[in-house]
Amino acid sequence: MRVLVTGGAGFIGSNLVRGLLERGDQVRVLDNFSTGSRENLADVESDVELVEGELRSYERVHAATRGVELVFHQGALPSVPRSVQDPLTTSAVNVEGTLNVLLAARDEGIRRVVVASSSSVYGNSGSLPRVESQAPDPIAPYAVAKLAAERYCVSFSRVYPLETVALRYFNVFGPGQNPHSQYAAVVPRFISAIAVGEPVPVYGDGEQSRDFTYVGNVVAANLLAAEADGVNGEILNVASGRSETVNDLAEVLGRILERPVEKEFLPERTGDVRHSWADVGAARRLLGYEPEVGFEEGLRLTADAFVGV
Residues with active-site annotation: 142
> Using an 8 Å Cβ cutoff, are 7 and 64 in contact?
no
SS3 content of the chain, % helix, strand, coil (to 5): 45, 20, 40
Cβ(114)–Cβ(261) under 8 Å? no
How many angstroms separate the CA atoms of 125 and 104, rounded? 35
Closest by CA to 221, choosing from 115, 112, 146, 105, is 115
Give the torsion sign (CA, 265, 271, 274, 278): negative
The packing angle between helices 186-195 and 246-257, to 10°, is: 40
What are the start-end ranges of the H helices in the chain? 11-22, 58-65, 80-85, 87-91, 97-107, 141-159, 186-195, 215-227, 246-257, 281-287, 295-306
Q: How is 123-145 classified by DSSP, letter by letter? A: TT-S-SSB-TTSPP---SHHHHH
Q: How far is CA 208 from CA 134, 150, 202, 247, 260, in A?
A: 20, 26, 10, 8, 21
- Angle formed by the axes of helices 186-195 and 295-306, nearest 10°: 60
Contact (CB, 8 A) for 145 and 83: yes
Rounded to the nearest 10 degrees, what angle do helices 215-227 and 295-306 cross at?
110
CA 50 to chain centre: 20
